């Protein structure tokens, strides 16, 4: 039976493994100063239509978040995030560990809006309060929702008005790219920093961080937090493999398509999916007994929360590696639980 | 021409790549809670003859050092290290970034001794000074020297006497295992924590950290510093591949053997190698003109330091991947520089 | 005209100044290791009926909060506080600067309850989330409300049940002691740490921190954060002066009595005071025009928030130094604003 | 018998106490935004001939050091200090607690020189090492030596050449002002930041920090580290009292004069004072038996270190409060120990 627990349950996309194998015995400089990283960065600048962009490769998302936030803010500054934001709830205080406060704003759908940002009391603070300096958003969000271009542009305008930086966590940017009107050039133009998540879309690991303007000292920040991979070229090789002929987007499209098939199939069986997600995470509400039966059949997934005494919202995640068959099996077995 | 710049210039040992490929489409839990990590940990406990040991896998050495030091010491405590210690000179203040002070002791050969430890003025400090709580050593050291069992046992006794923890950075533990009388059970018995370095001995990346006693909350420390790999099983797979049939030690023996051939060949040509290194790093002193000629021929290596106006000490590093031919070529070309 | 802006607008209670003057030329050890601090600590242990208690003196509240929280929690642990808690909103991220996350809970009256604590999602967290380890409460709270003995006992029971420490910020403990059924022995028995605030009740500065159990290494934490006063005896001298013959409680009673006179006088003029405060902070809602007139007359106070287009909630604070006349004048002038 | 243990053994200079008493019932704003702090700052700008200077008042030296270093450097930057520097050996890692590394340079006399600064290996570092950004010096130094104007100017030139900030810890600036050719305008012109130490020269507490250029956000850094005194005006009142009619310099002259009398008297009795100190700290070497006798007579002083089996170097410190009689008594009693 299949695990819909996450989009990082398998290893790497075959193109990634192939590229790693083919380049295995090449000798290169360490720490990301090699030709593979250079080519991957150039490719990303081209795809982003951002010739000035500064590209860095990091191993994981929490690492990327903490190093970026530390590098772009002063010690007494703070980051505004949705209360569901990954940095607020799922990183064991990694941002606070750099001394920065996260100002969490309750959000109905995991997204921030100008109005939510402007509701932050500290926005007009004095020296007795932290000073908001950055807005952190995720796309797709932690609950699968997706920003439109108009929404991200509105956040940019709001940030400009209040002197805030805009940082976009793209751990699931592939899925977002495959289901919204936002393109890589949009992300580069509208944010101060964002990353293209490899871990959750076909890489063994890796996040490609894009700064709209050069950050000359960012490598110091990386090294100081243990975020500089010795064999850095592994990151360049993987992103080249994923990006140079469209495998990255294809992988995300595949994941999204299967997620929507799950969504539609589940809805067709009469179950509700309260979160409107067009992306690779779906959150159906099922009777507790059904959840148990699916688990007994061997399906794996996360329990999101108990909706009421008799129902549970679960999370189903698809990936580049999910076989169509797994989705069909799941829907058939779900139907049999009735 | 070959690069003797480092032991992480290539990708992974073929067994590692093979294992990653073979397990690629398996679905596992993330974050190191998978069966591969469990098996690799069990294998390490067996090899260490330490059934109680707590094993964790981290991506890199700086990361391992900072998380271990933060987890095992209190904020006001300090770590004693040789002035050449990696944490003191090559980690961009990563340990200080956790708020801990490094107390550096000048050491003639990169190693610490009980006498050097006892020379630390803070050893009998009060609340106006940091409190030494840990001794940090590397084996092999940053300059290729190696501890004997008697030396490590003496450090252990000294640490016990002064209430200090002993932490051993094993980024190059493979090379040390292959050229000293210290075995894995010795490391487990004599240190409070040490790691088996994969990055510099055949893995794509990865350090296997061994605590002599369980550290129940170490995973919190890891996650908080962005040091928990999403696809954690990649670490387990690699260490299984390297350790289960001796590839790890074979790789290190190969590296050491070629380093000694370099050493002996260089010495036979009349050059001095002031650092007595039995391991995979060698530090010959060559005329500046010779250094330039070797570089023009395409050899890569690090400049260690200028010895005098006419001579430079360079560093040559071999690895599991270094071909014998590269060593022969180098020695021949060095001879031709005369 | 008088300033009701704060309870630290004046210098020190006359007894404090007298004691500082009388002891001025004594020579003592620095850093709080002098006989005055020893006697003040002993006095506090006696007043708290806590012969085992560990007493330390710090200069200010933010300093006390950050050092206590750092000393009593591990890096990955978190502190639960009301969303109005001083550490959450008025300390410029001082707690986050030690790497700890504050988990803020919306509270209707500035107080925490077992139910509010148990609503914290992280209470049953795993290594991807911070681990709540401490509950932080203030008494009186930041909005003047006060815990009863039953309420604090319920928090203690809740903390015991969930393995949480209970830390009470007593910046305004004097005012609380003077208007609730909680006594110093209760605070010592029910909390793991609390402090007796001097700054806001008659001292030039100073907070007397009481740990229910000895904290042998707390002085290291203090010094490391710059929180150890060179002429530490100044703190001991002040607390002796305030506590040895009841001046501390008398001062607080005076402040409370005048605050209640303000409250009753304002209410009698038909204005509302939505926050039910029995302590030295009162929050009347006045017409904007009235607020302006009072300011023109020279009264000073803080604007709490705009209630609606025509009304503002202000904060009036009394202290040991507030003359009765100032209250009478204020009430008369308020009446004249009608 | 007298204690020569430190220059903060007594309370405050009579002028300070008088000023605190006279202003005691004034009502002012908190946190250093009051008229007394404004006047003291203006007075300091005038005395420094630095109308643009930014002046802040902090309670103590460790606090001042840690906040200044955090505010003026980036996380990956480092501070160069003499190995005897207060921040390196006597602040329990307070600077490291802000994440900054201290690069300690062995210095024969507690002073730094351009040559010593240029000996720091990290001066031409890359991203694997911390980046020196600031030079920290103390005047007088921790062992009583004093910089000349030429020496400080040379440090300034060296800092300019290497892009380093120059920060001068003036915990004992009074003593330095009274015995060297450096004036307040020199300090303001030659450093980026320095402070005028009150604690060790007549204040109850307080350090007046002077930035040569405005630091608009420094108050955020202060508050975040708990370094903003609620009744901030206490600092302004004290510095006004000490500086407005020369009491500060008179106090330091008194301390120095008595220290030199001690020095000369001790030397006349045939004892050596290896540290050439013109300031208020003297370091005679005495036979162990003599040290014991002096202690038995009730004299207090710090043991600096054991010189050999039979001799000990002690530290004698004088202050504004030291009576001439205490010095005469000491010399007489010392003579009687022969």
Rounded to an integer, the average pLDDT of D295-318 is: 96
Q: Does residue B300 contact residue B265 with C-beta atoms inside 8 Å?
A: no
Q: Does some domain include residue C76?
A: yes
Q: What are phi and psi of C88, to 5 degrees?
A: -85, -35
pLDDT score for C72: 98
**Contact check, Cβ <8 Å, C127/B75:** no
Residue D256 banded pLDDT, cuts 50, 70, 90: very high
Does residue A30 sit at the B interface (CB-CB below 8 Å)? Answer: yes
Identify the closest residue of chain B to C126 by CA–CA distance.
Answer: B220
Secondary structure (3-state) at B291: helix
* Interface B:C, Cβ pairs < 8 A: 40
Rounded to an integer, the average pLDDT of C300-315 is: 96
pLDDT over threshold 90, residue D282: yes
**Contact check, Cβ <8 Å, D94/C227:** no
Q: Does residue D275 contact residue D283 with C-beta atoms inside 8 Å?
A: yes
Q: How far is B178 from chain D (nearest CA, A)?
A: 28
Does residue C207 sit at the B interface (CB-CB below 8 Å)? Answer: no
pLDDT score for A1: 79
C204 and C298 inside one domain: no
Domain boundary among D227, D247, D267: D247
pLDDT score for B124: 86
Q: How far is D228 from chain C (nearest CA, A)?
A: 8
Report which secondary-structure segment, H or E, holds C168: strand C165-169
Identify the closest residue of chain B to A60 by CA–CA distance.
Answer: B229
pLDDT score for B96: 98
**Contact check, Cβ <8 Å, B92/A220:** yes
pLDDT over threshold 90, residue C338: no
Residues in chain C within 8 Å Cβ distance of B128: 31, 223
pLDDT score for D338: 78
Q: Does some domain include residue B1?
A: no
D93 and D163 inside one domain: yes
> B307: domain CATH number?
3.90.1150.10
What pTM value is reported for the model? 0.97
A43 and A176 inside one domain: yes
Find chains touching chain C: ≥3 CB pairs under 8 Å.
Answer: A, B, D
Q: Does residue A17 contact residue B12 with C-beta atoms inside 8 Å?
A: no
Q: CB atoms < 10 A from the CB of A126, how many?
A: 13
Nearest Cα to Cα of residue D280 among D140, D86, D182, D85? D140
Residues in chain B within 8 Å Cβ distance of D90: 128-129
Q: Does some domain include residue B115?
A: yes
> B177: domain CATH number?
3.40.640.10
Secondary structure (3-state) at D313: strand
A216 and A253 inside one domain: no
Rounded CA gap, A286 and C212, in Å? Answer: 49
Q: How far is B246 from chain D (nearest CA, A)?
A: 33
Domain boundary among A221, A245, A269: A245
Mutate to test the interface with B, among A13, A91, A169, A225 (most CBs of B within 10 A): A225
Residues in chain D within 8 Å Cβ distance of A95: none
Residue C1 banded pLDDT, cuts 50, 70, 90: confident
The segments of chain A whose pLDDT lies below 70 read: none
pLDDT score for B221: 98
Q: Does some domain include residue B188?
A: yes
Q: Does some domain include residue C2?
A: no
Residues in chain D within 8 Å Cβ distance of C320: none
Burial, A338: exposed, middle or buried (Cβ in 10 Å; 0-12, 13-18, 19+)? exposed
* Interface A:D, Cβ pairs < 8 A: 38
Domain boundary among D247, D274, D296: D247
The segments of chain B whose pLDDT lies below 70 read: none
A238 and A266 inside one domain: no
A122 and A255 inside one domain: no
Q: What is the mean pLDDT of chain C?
A: 97
D260 and D230 inside one domain: no
C175 and C287 inside one domain: no
Rounded CA gap, C100 and A82, in Å? Answer: 19
Mutate to test the interface with A, among B66, B222, B231 (most CBs of A within 10 A): B231
Rounded CA gap, B151 and B148, in Å? Answer: 5
B209 and B252 inside one domain: no
D268 and D137 inside one domain: no
Secondary structure (3-state) at C9: coil
A242 CA to centre of own chain = 16
* Interface C:D, Cβ pairs < 8 A: 144
**CA-based torsion, A4, A10, A12, A15: positive or negative:** negative
Q: Does some domain include residue A1?
A: no
State the total domains in chain B: 2
pLDDT score for A150: 98
Does residue A321 sit at the B interface (CB-CB below 8 Å)? Answer: yes
Mutate to test the interface with D, among C31, C226, C317 (most CBs of D within 10 A): C226
Residue D258 banded pLDDT, cuts 50, 70, 90: very high
Find chains touching chain B: ≥3 CB pairs under 8 Å.
Answer: A, C, D
Does residue D45 sit at the C interface (CB-CB below 8 Å)? Answer: no
pLDDT score for A170: 98
Q: How far is A138 from chain C (nearest CA, A)?
A: 17
Q: Does some domain include residue A277?
A: yes
pLDDT over threshold 90, residue D1: no
Residue C325 lies in domain: 248-336
pLDDT score for C125: 86
**Secondary structure of chain D: what % helix, strand, coil (to 5)?**
40, 20, 40
**Contact check, Cβ <8 Å, A97/C78:** no
Q: Is the peptide bond before D114 cis (omega within 30 degrees of 0)?
A: no
Summarize pLDDT for D128-153 with one digit per residue, the tens.
999 999 999 999 999 999 999 999 99
B149 and B265 inside one domain: no
Could you tell me the CA-to-CA distances from A155 to A115, A135, A298, C75, D138 in Å, in that order? Answer: 9, 9, 42, 33, 48
A65 and A211 inside one domain: yes
Residues forming a β-bridge with B102: B79
Token reading at D138: 């103390």
**Contact check, Cβ <8 Å, C99/A101:** no
Q: How far is D20 from chain C (nearest CA, A)?
A: 8
Q: Does ipTM exceed 0.95?
A: yes
Identify the closest residue of chain B to D305 by CA–CA distance.
Answer: B121
Q: CB atoms < 10 A from the CB of D164, how many?
A: 22
């Amino acid at each position: 039976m299949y695990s819909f627990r996450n989009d990082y349950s398998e290893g790497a996309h075959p193109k990634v493994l192939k590229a790693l194998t083919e380049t295995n015995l090449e000798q290169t400089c360490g720490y990301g100063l090699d030709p593979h990283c250079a080519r991957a960065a150039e490719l990303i600048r081209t795809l982003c239509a951002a010739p000035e962009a500064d590209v860095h490769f990091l191993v994981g998302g929490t690492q990327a978040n903490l190093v970026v936030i530390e590098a772009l803010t002063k010690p007494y500054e703070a980051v505004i995030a949705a209360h569901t934001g990954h940095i607020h709830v799922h990183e064991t205080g990694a941002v606070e560990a750099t001394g920065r406060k996260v100002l969490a704003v309750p959000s109905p759908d995991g997204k921030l809006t100008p109005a939510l940002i402007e509701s932050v009391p500290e926005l007009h603070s004095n020296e007795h309060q932290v000073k908001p300096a950055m807005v952190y958003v995720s796309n797709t969000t932690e609950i699968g929702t997706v920003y439109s271009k108009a929404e991200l542009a509105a956040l940019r305008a709001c940030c400009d008005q209040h002197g805030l930086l805009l940082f976009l966590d793209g751990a699931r940017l592939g899925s977002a790219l495959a289901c919204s009107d936002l393109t890589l050039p949009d992300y580069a133009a509208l944010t101060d920093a964002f990353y293209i998540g490899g871990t959750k879309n076909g890489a063994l690991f890796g996040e490609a961080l894009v700064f709209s303007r050069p950050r000359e000292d960012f490598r110091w920040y990386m090294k100081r937090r243990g975020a500089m991979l010795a064999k850095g070229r592994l990151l360049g090789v993987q992103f080249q493999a994923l990006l140079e002929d469209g495998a990255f987007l294809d992988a995300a499209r595949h994941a999204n398509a299967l997620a929507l098939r799950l969504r539609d199939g589940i809805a067709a069986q009469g179950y509700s999916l309260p979160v409107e997600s067009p992306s690779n995470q779906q959150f159906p509400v099922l009777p507790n007994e059904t959840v148990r039966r699916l688990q007994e059949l061997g399906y794996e997934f996360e329990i999101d929360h108990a909706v009421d005494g008799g129902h549970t919202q679960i999370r189903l995640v698809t990936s580049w590696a999910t076989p169509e068959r797994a989705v069909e099996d799941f829907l058939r077995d779900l139907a049999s639980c009735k």
